[in-house]
Amino acid sequence: MVGSISLLVDSPLRDLAFAMREVPADVRKHIASETRKHALPIWNQELRERAATRFQQRALVSSARVGVTARNVFLRSGSVGKLSSGTPVVWVSTVAEWGFPQGKKVDVTNRKGKTFQRSMGAAVPARRRGGWVVHPAAQDAIPRFASLWIQTARRSLHEAEEKA
């Protein structure tokens, strides 16, 4: 788990989570769509700031997605799309985020079909327990998403009450 906010303590998020149970479905859908619309640029910005290499940009930033439900905001990266070589992003996203042991040899097959070993070198970052891009970005973005969700829900609830 990258990061989360506990609703066990008394907080505006806890109150909002309880209030969302009583909100009509069309208002919940509006809150989710508005949150998604404003959350994706925040998520992309956080990822872009941390991606140091072109490989990380293509594998993690270009595939960033945000999902919003009535109770959660899901941050996704590295699961959809392909690189320019045709390689699915999901195959390389783990290496782009967590790195690779620099001295380790990997088996590579050339165009003629001959298999040989090479080291990864500087193509990918070194191993890092906390991740390089997605996990640090998520830890910084989660409080921003919580604030966004509260503001969007309050505004949507007030607008729905004015219409009624």
pLDDT by 10-residue block (mean), the chain, 164 residues: 65 81 89 92 96 92 89 88 90 90 86 89 82 93 90 90 83
* pLDDT at residue 2, rounded to an integer: 58
* pLDDT at residue 1, rounded to an integer: 40
Q: Which helix (H) or strand (E) holds 25?
A: helix 25-50
* pLDDT at residue 112, rounded to an integer: 92
Q: Which helix (H) or strand (E) holds 75?
A: strand 73-76
- pLDDT per position as a tens digit, 126-139: 888 889 999 999 99
* pLDDT at residue 3, rounded to an integer: 63
Beta-bridge partner residues of 78: none
Cα 97 → chain centroid: 12
What ranges do the domains of the chain cover?
24-98+129-163
Q: Give this prediction's pTM.
A: 0.82
Residue 136 and residue 4: Cα distance in Å, rounded?
13
* pLDDT at residue 4, rounded to an integer: 67
Contacts of 88 (CB under 8 A, 6+ apart): 81, 82
